[in-house]
Structures are given as structure tokens and as C-alpha cells.
Structure 1
Amino acid sequence: MADVNHPFAFGPDGRTLSPTHSGHVRDLIEQVLFTNPGERINRPEFGSGLQGLVFEPSGSAIAATLQSTVEAALQRWLGDVIVLEAVSARADEGVLEVVVQYVEVRTAERRTDTIRSGGGPS
């Protein structure tokens, strides 16, 4: 079964775009991080609620909260896809940046992805 690109898109040939496996895993991480619980009708617990913390006052307490929120969500929802090694998260002036270090279970490839609010790559 082929993976589907997120966000859903068509290629120049009119077919559905399919990302590489690594690209699909990154898409899954973004979906978990930037989905708020309650957004998905059939899976209301899905997501991290991370975006609700973006405008909280900066400081060590919010940094620890961001990090634990990300770790818990990724382990819960993607524990069968990635082995989480390290997470750092920070919110600065409404911009959220999360750095995730992990090993893909299927390929045993070690990766580090930087994800910013809005889903833009590093």
C-alpha cells in the first residue's frame, strides 16, 4: 500500500503524490504535533494540543511543558513507527519550533527533523 502525501496533493501527471517513507514519517509527526485533540471526529483524543501553548509566556516552565507534551504525543501515536531519542521544543513570539530526533522502526534510519508552526521545513 502506498503512502499518501500530506497535505493531499496531485503530481504533474494527475496522480496522487506519494512521499518517500521518510517523508511520510515526517508528515505523520507534523500531523500529531499540529492537530488539536477534538479535531478528528472518529479519533477525538488524537493530537498533541501543542498549538495552544504557543502564546504562553516564555520560560523554563513552558519549555518543559512543550517538551513533555511533544514526547507524550509522539510516543502515544507513533510509538510503532519511530523510536523517539530526543525532543526539544520552544515557542518564541508565536512561532513554535520542535526538533525531533528519532529512529524509523521500518528502516532503522536515524533522523533529526526540525518542524516549525505552519509545517515549514527547516
Structure 2
Amino acid sequence: MGEVSEQVLGQGWATPVTLDAQGEVRLEAGAEKVRQAIRLILDTRRGERVMRPDFGAGLEDFLFEPVGTTTSALIRQRVETALIVWEPRIDVHEVAVDVADRRSGRLHITISYRVRATNTFYNLVYPFFLQEGRAT
């Protein structure tokens, strides 16, 4: 199954880029490469990529916004749209934004998705902070 998954889903540099035991660039393939691509979309600011200024979810736009249902709904919509546009290997089943810690402004963005080529379902929880870090 691994070889078929690799052929269908592709193989590329691991994110973040690191070296393996032989000193070569570490590669990832299959479902792990898809998961890394999703995280890359969520981590990328709009305008950050010169040749693709519209790439990414642009979640930094929500920094310092109040913790509430409006902000959560806007983040959910932004994540869902970015994944539909930029990750064609998946079908987004659900995006949920939950307040994990209101005081620190920590949200958990839970993404349920299906890899089209293998018809396998996965979940990814992406922590996102609306406020700057501070000692508690």
C-alpha cells in the first residue's frame, strides 16, 4: 500500500526541511506528505510567496481579534476555503474551531478530511493563538 500511496500522492521534501541519517534531504510521501501540505497552507501568510501571493490561509489576519463565535466562524471559513483551493488531493469533510483556552486566546482548529486517492479519512488538530504569549 505504501508504494501505491507514494505513486498517487507524491513524494517530496519533508516540512520542515531536515537531513536524514545519511546527510540527504529527508523525504516524505503519501498521507504524511498530504498532512504536511495542509499545515504548510495553514502556516503561510497571504502575500508571502512572490509567485503565488494568494497562496495560504492567511490566519495571521486574525491575530489579536477577540475570542468569540464571530472570529471562530471567520477562521473556519478561511481554513475551509484555503484547503479547497490549494490542496486538491483531499476532500474537506469538516472544519471546527474550538476555544481551548479563552484567557490565552488558544483555539484548536480541527480538520477532518478524506484523501481522495486512497479514500482514507484523517483528522488534524492545528493549535492557533489569537493573543501573544505571556507568562501565566
Interval containing the TM-score (normalised by the shorter chain) = 0.7 to 0.9
Compute the displacement of 1:94 (Å).
4.3
- Superposition TM-score, scaled by structure 1 size: 0.86
Aligned pairs, number: 117
Q: Name the residue aligned to 2:43.
A: 34
Computing the radius of gyration from Cα coordinates, the structure with the larger value is: 2
- The question of whether the paired residues in 1 share the 8 Å contact of 2:97 and 2:109 is answered with yes
Give 1 or 2: higher strand fraction. Answer: 2
- The question of whether the paired residues in 2 share the 8 Å contact of 1:54 and 1:95 is answered with no
Return 5+ residue gaps in structure 1 as ranges.
none
Return 5+ residue gaps in structure 2 as ranges.
1-9, 130-136
SS in 2 for 1:31: helix
Compute the displacement of 1:13 (Å).
1.3
Q: Name the residue aligned to 1:99.
A: 110
Runs of 4+ in structure 1 off by over 4 angstroms are: none
Tell me the distance in 1 between the aligned counterparts of 2:59 and 2:77.
10
Identity %: 27
SS in 2 for 1:3: strand
Tell me the distance in 1 between the aligned counterparts of 2:97 and 2:44.
16
SS in 2 for 1:89: strand
- Superposition TM-score, scaled by structure 2 size: 0.78
Q: Name the residue aligned to 2:69.
A: 60
84-93 vs 60-69, which moves further? 84-93
Q: Deviations over 1:42-84 (max 9, x none)?
A: 1111011112213210111111111101111111111x21000
Tell me the distance in 2 between the aligned counterparts of 1:96 and 1:17.
31
